[in-house]
Amino acid sequence: MIRNSFLIYGLAVLSAVSLAEYRGWSLNRVDEVPNVPKSVRDNPGSYRSVYGYYHHYTGGK
């Protein structure tokens, strides 16, 4: 019982890692924006990034 459970579980882990690698998954968070107009190439400032108002860390100890 436990042998089969772990065999199935191990195969599932291996399959998940394989699929993640094959599909190019990532742990990073990236927003997807559909239908960006082609005019952005001519006027880059017209694009408004969702990260445009990021609060910057100024560092230092």
Partner 1 sequence: MSSGGPTPAGTPQVKSLNCPSCGAALTVRSFSHAVTVVCDNCHSILDAQDPTLKVLQKFHAATDEDPPLIPLGTRGTIRGNPYDVIGFQRRTIHVDGDPYSWHEYLLFNPFKGFRYLTEYNGHWNDVSVLRSLPLTSPGASTLNYLGETYKHFQTATAQTSYVLGEFPWRVRVGESAEVSDYVSPPRVISSEKTGKEVTWSMGEYITGRDLWVAFKLAGAPPTPIGVYENQPSPLGADVKLVWSIIATFLVLLVALLVACYSMESDEQVFDQSYSLDTSVKKEASFVTDIFELKGRTSDVELTTTAHVDNNWIYLNYALINEDTGHAYDFGREVSYYHGYDEDGSWSEGSTTDTVTVPSVPPGHYYLRVEPESQYYRGTIYYSIALKRDVPQVSFFGLGVLALLVPAGLITWRSINFEHLRWAESDYGDGDGSDDSAGDSDDDDPDRPIDLGISDEEDK
Token pair belonging to 33: 């924006």
46 touches 39 (CB < 8 A): yes
Distance from C-alpha of 11 to C-alpha of 3, rounded to nearest angstrom: 12
Residues numbered 40 to 59 that lie near partner 1 (CB under 8 A) are 40-41, 44-45, 47, 49-52, 54, 56-59
CA atoms within 13 A on the CB side of 53: 1
Contact characters 2-41, partner 1, x per CB under 8 A:
xx--xx-xxx-xx-xxx-xxxxxxxxxxxxxxxxxxx-xx
Using CB under 8 A, list all residues that contact partner 1.
2-3, 6-7, 9-11, 13-14, 16-18, 20-38, 40-41, 44-45, 47, 49-52, 54, 56-61
